[in-house]
């Protein structure tokens, strides 16, 4: 999807999404993946409070402001993944996604685990990244869902944006035999405050690289879908791609605008990896992975053999 | 390194390794990475027993048959990683690697955790993959080592071959702040028994892909080094590469023969990732990763909403 500006009415955004959905259905697609926070601009770039913030959140899914998309999908017998900002009746807020099957039933819900950014606004900058302020950490884990017959009983998983850079998220899905992972994202193309940082090409390379390698290492299809382009003065990378279980890109976006990528995802292509190279039962050694779940941050090895005669010794100190 | 045939005398192999070491030292390298099982042919491709098998194993490291390499490295004030088959005084056998510092001291030892292949030989095939028969699973975890001043107090890690396809291995090193991961490998270029399988180009792509993505996701340099070419009638991929903490290949092999790749690995390039995008302390959520250490194999979600009216329903059954 191309950018969605703050001033864009919901109806306009929904019409764009329905047009994409209809185009995909016309090409035979049965699963359509929309981006993270697909119905709005990426609002965590601003400090917003009160009613103005509430306006970005969905109190239920579906709801009247998105119902037309759900209705059209069911009519066309296509399902979809879409990301949105969720507020619960208890006023809990999550960066969420939903998988809706072609028959209209909700197959599963997901709440983003890996929230980037900060809780406190950075002073004197035009743009923020306040996901840690606006959202709670996802509390549903990384569940995989067994689809119904419209989707050939596929095992499907969801991630949102930054999750895709964390191999733990992929592996938890892989351990459930996932065959296709849906990822929507909004990823900055550059530092919108003008700081020195990776350029857009490198950021797009990173985005594809993690989808490709994690798809391969978990023998799964991966579909990573951007909201792209200039959004309210802040640039978002494109790079949407469909990746096969060998980690090869089989379709990729060429624009930063609304654009359809369609691929035939043969789920049986997952078997080669799952049964041989990545046969987890035969080859994983969890007794050697303890640190992954027993610690959060880095614990560096202590210094040894310190040679005080040289000035090449670095100043860093061990964190434990 | 190019191939080493079964018939090649150890002295000849050692001379090749010393020549590579001298060439690297002449270009200013201080750390030289040799492949897995660097002193011999990749013997797990055959069923071997008794004294014939013992001939491939090192009873100590160093030992007289490799001492010349250690001596020359110390003379030139360069260190190295090298893979070898280890047999302990208790007759335990491991697929092992060692890191030797420029001053000649042993910085660390590693024993391969992710053993591919089988324990029992496959009948009626010319070639085997018997690593699970010849070696015990590594019992040292994935330790990172703090180097001395010759290596700027770098935090170094080791893997061997198949380990590099397992993101858990990289993450355990990443959680120790690793700045450079050394990986030696012998990876088949095709099925030596003539079965249908991935072609050499795809296998080489996989090898680079996992080094690149895991280097990026752990903000570390990675150096992946093949033993390559036709070894006793069985082909090995090349694709040796030096990867920066952004996952970019900065040097890669162009032949399947003895070949030097040299790069200046600025360890400070690890900081951008470790401090921001991959600041583990700020962003990891281990409470959501439990399955990674609590289960070995796949547990698929159960079937739901089974639609008996369609024949598109797949025959697979859940494993739990």
Residue B110, in any domain of the structure: yes
B201 at A interface, C-beta within 8 A: no
**Residues 6 or more apart in contact with residue A268 via CB below 8 angstroms:** none
Per-residue pLDDT tens digits for A170-224: 999 999 999 999 999 999 999 988 887 889 999 999 999 999 999 999 999 999 9
**A175: contact with B, CB 8 A cutoff:** yes
Report the residue from A138, A292, A300 with minimal CB separation from B286.
Answer: A292
| φ, ψ (nearest 5 deg) of residue B265 | -100, 100
Distances (CA, A) of B12 to B15, B34, B65, B66, B154: 5, 15, 11, 11, 33
Residue A236 in any domain: the answer is: yes
Check pLDDT > 50 for residue A58: yes
Residue B222 is inside which H or E element, if any?
A: strand B221-226
ipTM: 0.94
d(CA A262, CA A269): 17
User: How far is A144 from B316, CA to CA, in rounded Å?
Assistant: 16
Closest CA to B245 of B210, B274, B206, B224: B274
What CATH code is carried by the domain that includes residue B217? 3.60.110.10
Chain A partners within 8 Å of B146 (Cβ):
300-304, 318
Length of chain A: 320
pLDDT given for residue B304 in this prediction: 61
A53 is written with which tokens?
């913030």
Average pLDDT across chain A, whole number = 94
Taken in order B243, B143, A305, B103, the sign of the CA dihedral is: negative
B316, A153: Cβ pair inside 8 Å?
A: yes
The answer to whether position A320 is within a domain reads no
Q: Please state whether beta strands A229-231 and A221-226 pair in parallel, antiparallel, or not at all (unpaired).
A: unpaired
Whole-angstrom CA distances from B279 to A159, B17, B58, B317 are: 19, 39, 40, 40
Helix (H) or strand (E) holding A12: helix A10-26
pLDDT of residue B320: 39
Cβ–Cβ < 8 Å for A185, A206: no
Contact criterion met (CB below 8 Å) for B85 and B60: no
Task: Check B210 against A213: CB less than 8 A apart.
Answer: yes
Which A residues 295-314 touch B at CB under 8 Å? 295-307, 310, 312-314
The DSSP secondary-structure symbol of A317 reads -
Contacts of B1 (CB under 8 A, 6+ apart): B16, B17, B20, B34, B35, B38, B225, B226, B227, B228, B258
If one counts the domains in chain A, the total is: 1
User: Is B284 an 8 Å CB contact of chain A?
Assistant: yes
- In the 8-state DSSP scheme, what is residue B286? G
Contacts of A174 in chain B (CB under 8 A): 298
Count Cβ atoms within 10 A of the Cβ of residue B196 and give its class: 0-12 exposed, 13-18 middle, 19 or more buried.
exposed
Compute the distance between CA of residue B303 and CA of residue B299 in angstroms, rounded to an integer.
12
Beta strand segments in chain A, E: 31-33, 79-87, 93-100, 106-111, 144-146, 155-160, 180-185, 221-226, 229-231, 234-236, 241-243, 249-252
Per the CB < 8 Å rule, is B148 touching A278? Answer: no
Q: Distance of CA B7 to CAs A193, B10, B35, Å?
A: 63, 9, 19
Closest Cα partner for A98 from A60, A129, A134? A60
> Closest to A285 (Cβ–Cβ): which among B137, B198, B274?
B137
Provide the pLDDT for residue A310: 45
Q: Which two tokens stand for residue A312?
A: 């090449």
B270 catalytic per annotation: no
Chain A residues with CB under 8 Å of B282 CB are 297
Rounded to an integer, what distance in angstroms lies between the CA atom of residue A97 and that of residue A139?
A: 13
CA distance A157 to chain B (A): 11
Chain A residue numbers with beta carbons less than 8 Å from the beta carbon of B155 are 300-301
Q: Flag whether A206 is in a domain.
A: yes
pLDDT at A145 > cutoff 70: yes
Contact B171 A167 (CB under 8 A): yes
A58 in contact with B, Cβ within 8 Å: no
Name residues whose C-beta falls within 8 Å of residue A25's C-beta, 6 or more positions apart in sequence: A32, A76, A77, A78
Task: Give which of A28, A11, A146, A35 is closest to A76, Cα–Cα.
Answer: A28
* Residue-level pLDDT at A291: 98
A91 in B contact zone (CB under 8 Å):
no
Model pLDDT, residue A123: 94
In tens, the pLDDT along A80-126 reads 999 999 999 999 999 999 999 999 999 999 999 999 999 999 999 99
**Residue that is written with structure tokens 């010349």 in the block:** B68
B22: left (phi over 0), alpha (psi -120 to 50) or beta: alpha
CA distance B90 to chain A (A): 22
Interface test with B, best of A283, A315, A317 (most B CBs within 10 A): A283
Nearest CA in chain A to B306: A148
Decide if A40 is inside a domain.
Answer: yes
pLDDT range class, residue A308, cuts 50, 70, 90: very low
Query: What is the model's pLDDT at position A304?
Result: 61
Q: Which residues of chain B have pLDDT under 70?
A: 304-320
Q: Does a structural domain hold residue B292?
A: no
Asked if residue B150 lies in contact with residue B130, where contact means CB atoms within 8 angstroms, the answer is no
Which residues, other chains included, contact B141 with Cβ-Cβ below 8 Å and sequence gap of 6+? Answer: A288, B113, B172
Active site residue B161: yes
**A260 pLDDT exceeds 80?**
yes
Say yes or no: B5 contacts chain A, CB-CB below 8 A. Answer: no
Q: Does B137 touch chain A (CB under 8 A)?
A: yes
In a domain, B167, yes or no: yes
**A300 within domain boundaries:** no
Q: For residue A156, report the phi and psi dihedrals to the nearest 5 degrees.
A: -115, 145
Chain A hits for B245, CB-CB cut-off 8 Å, are none
Range of the domain at A16: 10-284
CA-nearest residue to A116 within chain B is B283
Helix (H, G, I), strand (E, B), or coil: what is residue A183?
strand
Q: What is the pLDDT of residue A195?
A: 82
Alpha-carbon distance A53 to nearest alpha carbon in chain B (angstroms): 24
């Amino acid at each position: 999807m191309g950018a969605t500006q703050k001033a864009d009415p919901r109806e306009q955004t929904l019409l764009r999404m329905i047009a994409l959905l209809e185009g995909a259905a016309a090409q035979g697609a049965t699963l359509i993946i929309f981006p993270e926070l697909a119905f709005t601009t990426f609002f965590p770039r601003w400090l917003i409070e009160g009613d103005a913030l509430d306006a970005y959140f969905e109190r239920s899914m579906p709801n009247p402001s998105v119902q037309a998309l759900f209705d059209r999908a069911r009519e066309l017998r296509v399902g979809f993944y879409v990301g949105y900002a969720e507020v619960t009746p208890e006023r809990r807020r999550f960066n969420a996604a939903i998988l809706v099957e072609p028959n209209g039933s909700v197959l599963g819900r997901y709440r983003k685990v890996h929230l980037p950014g900060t809780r406190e606004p950075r002073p004197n900058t035009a743009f923020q990244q306040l996901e840690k302020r606006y959202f709670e950490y996802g509390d549903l884990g990384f569940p995989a869902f067994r689809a119904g017959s419209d989707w050939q009983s596929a095992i499907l998983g969801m991630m949102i944006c930054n999750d895709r850079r964390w191999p733990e998220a992929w592996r938890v899905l892989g351990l459930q035999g996932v065959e296709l992972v849906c990822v929507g994202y909004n990823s900055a193309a550059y530092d919108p405050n003008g700081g020195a940082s990776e350029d857009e090409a490198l950021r797009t390379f990173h985005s594809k690289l993690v989808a490709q390698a994690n798809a391969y290492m978990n023998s799964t299809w991966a579909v990573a879908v951007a909201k792209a382009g200039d959004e309210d003065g802040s640039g978002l990378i494109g790079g949407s791609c469909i990746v096969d279980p060998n980690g090869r890109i089989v379709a990729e976006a060429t624009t930063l605008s609304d654009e359809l990528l369609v691929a035939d995802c043969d789920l049986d292509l997952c078997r080669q990896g799952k049964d041989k190279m990545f046969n987890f039962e035969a080859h994983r050694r969890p007794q050697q992975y303890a640190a992954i779940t027993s610690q959060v941050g880095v614990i560096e090895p202590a210094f040894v053999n310190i040679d005080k005669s040289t000035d090449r010794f670095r100043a860093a100190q061990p964190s434990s």
